[in-house]
Structure 1
Amino acid sequence: MALLLLAAVMPAGAAAVFTIAENGTAYSAVIDINQTDTYPFMETGVLGEQIPAEVTEVRLYNASGNVSFQKDQTGITFPKGNYTISYNGTIKDAHLLLSLPDLTAADVHLPAALDVRNPFMGQINPGGKVSVDDQGRVSIHWDRTGYIEVRFYDPTRESILYLFANIWGVVAIVLLTPYLLMRRRSR
């Protein structure tokens, strides 16, 4: 049911839409593909290599309904044509890192409790345009990208960053004040 709703709200012309779950540990994907007979599910590894992504609830369909496919370790194969693929995947350490088989228009939607806009904590791959709707949900759009990289955070992590920065600011002031006072006296 949720995937059908996701497909219904998919922006016109989008080739790939990834929606992050409320808790930030999973995502749902809806991807339009054209004139192909395979689709690999790949993540980008630590060294930039492509590794198979673990996905669940894979569904392949077109205007006439569900289409059967063969699944192996790296992806799925099916009769050549135009389809929509939907599936679910997991996110590790608040970092979504996926490799796309072709340059694709893509969107990532985060729930209102997650954000990417603080450059000290959040990250998106180049070309992404961040927008926020009236309910506080963050969306990132790429016109053409070969991979998706989104590092997001919750309000607790942002509060901890500000607390850490304030503590170090106070430490710097306490340590620099005697030096500056002595320097002023010596003049």
Structure 2
Amino acid sequence: MRTPDRDRRGHAVPARCLAALIGLIALLLLAAGQPAGAAAVFTIAENGTSYTATIDLNQTDTYPFMETGVLGEQIPATVTNVNLYNDSGNVTYQKDQTGITFQKGNYTISYQGTLRDDHILLALPEVTSADVHLPTGLDVRNPLIGQYSPGGKVSVDDQGQVSIHWDRTSYVEVRYYDQTRESLLYMFANIWVVVAIVLLTPYLLMRRRKL
């Protein structure tokens, strides 16, 4: 005897729910097997000479304060106002010349550092996602005077604040500039265009006469 269509639909609904549940469990197991990376956020101060860092730490007991030298080597970074905390509040730590140590667990660390020459270049203790937020008035989008490390994606909010995001990176590097430097760049570019025209004009006139 043929099974009525209504009965078939009745059996199909639980089957779909079971398949969706199995798929959800598989995704959760896959995510659990992935190593959790820290999220790092660096906010440049209004004057561009310092920054504030906020970084999530996952199952670790150390955090080194490092920056990248001119040859790519990692060197200790000088930082101030170091705070380590979790859901329970501030956490005590021991500090040495290279970083801090503490009881292993999940924490958030915040600190401040200084910047020179409109340039931030910091090494991260592990591959992670990262953001650099620039204050309104600073930019990186002109490739002649601005720079950011590979993989960065630039966005601008309604207030004109520029941010750079990396999905996965082991370091962040941003060379930024203000509007004055960009105006000077365009001014010198215009001067060179005028100079080029002045130098080329006699040559073009002589060539025209020969023709």
Aligned to 1:31: 55
User: What one-letter code is carried by the residue in structure 1 that aligns with 2:45?
Assistant: A
Point out the structure with max Rg over C-alpha.
Answer: 2
Deviations 1:43-70 (A, max 9, x none): 1001111010100000000000101001
Aligned to 1:7: none
Separation in 1, partners of 2:128, 2:48: 23
Residues 83-98 of structure 1 aligned to structure 2 (within 5 Å): 83-98=107-122
Aligned to 1:46: 70
Distance apart, 1:185 and its partner CA? 1.1
User: What one-letter code is carried by the residue in structure 2 that aligns with 1:176?
Assistant: L
Deviations 1:61-81 (A, max 9, x none): 000010100111111110000
Distance apart, 1:14 and its partner CA? 7.1
Change (3 A) 1:14 1:112: farther
Distance apart, 1:41 and its partner CA? 0.6
Please state if 1:156 is matched with 2:180: yes
State the TM-score, normalizing by the size of structure 1: 0.92
Residues 169-184 of structure 1 aligned to structure 2 (within 5 Å): 169-184=193-208
Aligned length: 175
Residues 52-71 of structure 1 aligned to structure 2 (within 5 Å): 52-71=76-95
User: What one-letter code is carried by the residue in structure 2 that aligns with 1:78?
Assistant: F
The structure 1 segments of at least 4 consecutive aligned residues displaced by more than 4 Å after TM superposition are: none
Residues 132-151 of structure 1 aligned to structure 2 (within 5 Å): 132-151=156-175
Separation in 1, partners of 2:210, 2:160: 54
Q: Secondary structure at the match of 1:167?
A: helix
Separation in 2, partners of 1:14, 1:71: 20
Deviations 1:124-148 (A, max 9, x none): 0000000000000001000000000
Deviations 1:136-172 (A, max 9, x none): 0001000000000000000000011011101111000
State the TM-score, normalizing by the size of structure 2: 0.82
Please state if 1:105 is matched with 2:129: yes
User: What one-letter code is carried by the residue in structure 1 that aligns with 2:47?
Assistant: N
Aligned to 2:103: 79
Contact preservation (8 Å) 1:14, 1:107: no
Q: Secondary structure at the match of 1:118?
A: coil
Separation in 1, partners of 2:157, 2:116: 26
**What runs of 5+ residues in structure 1 fail to find an aligned partner?**
1-12
Distance apart, 1:113 and its partner CA? 1.0
Higher helix residue share: 2
User: What one-letter code is carried by the residue in structure 2 that aligns with 1:109?
Assistant: H
